[in-house]
Amino acid sequence: MKNKKYLSPFLAVSIFVCVLLLDLLTKEFIIKNHIPNVGDSIKIMPGFINFVYVKNTGAAWGMLAGRPIFLIVISLVVMGLLLTYYILRQKKLGSKCSVLFGISVGLIAGGCIGNMIDRIFLGYVRDFINFEFIKFPVFNFADIALTIGTIIMLVYFVFFFNKEEKLLKGGGQDER
């Protein structure tokens, strides 16, 4: 599949904006209107999923709890490195850069910034989605985007990165 020159960056930015808005708006709407106090919950699909308001002062599974400044700095460094690499990759490959990579960058950036905004302005991340049928930490849409974006990025590096490099070096032809 041939990519248009700006398809990957356009997708990355569009996905970033959508994820960020979805994350911030759902946190604000659901928590403010339905579960305003920590520990409040509402059943969405009994026995499967509910919304319960949790203040997460750490990262995934509460790791590094109570260290918001450290988590903000780490988020900024990771975002800086990811965006720099993406821009350099885009310049290097142009229209040959995989759309998957752009999608993964948009998802990761949107999720990271969504949670970072909570950390900066509140000192914690607002989590509210809870699976009742398994023992799993409460999460939010930013966490979903981060997880899916990371999986897509792994798929990109495992299956598509080398193909792009070969296209760049050989113009799409085998060099024998």
143 is catalytic: yes
DSSP at 25: H
Point out the catalytic residue in the list 23, 118, 143, 174.
143
Tokens of 93: 């490959």
One-character DSSP codes across 79-122: HHHHHHHHHHHHHHHGGGS-HHHHHHHHHHHHHHHHHHHHHHHH
Interhelix angle 99-122/141-155, rounded to 10 degrees, is: 150
Helices (H), the chain: 7-26, 32-34, 68-93, 99-122, 141-155, 161-170
- Is 23 designated active site? no
Amino acid at site 90: Q
**What's the token pair of residue 73?**
């700095």
Residue of 23, 40, 118, 127 marked catalytic: 127
Catalogue the active-site residues. Answer: 127, 143
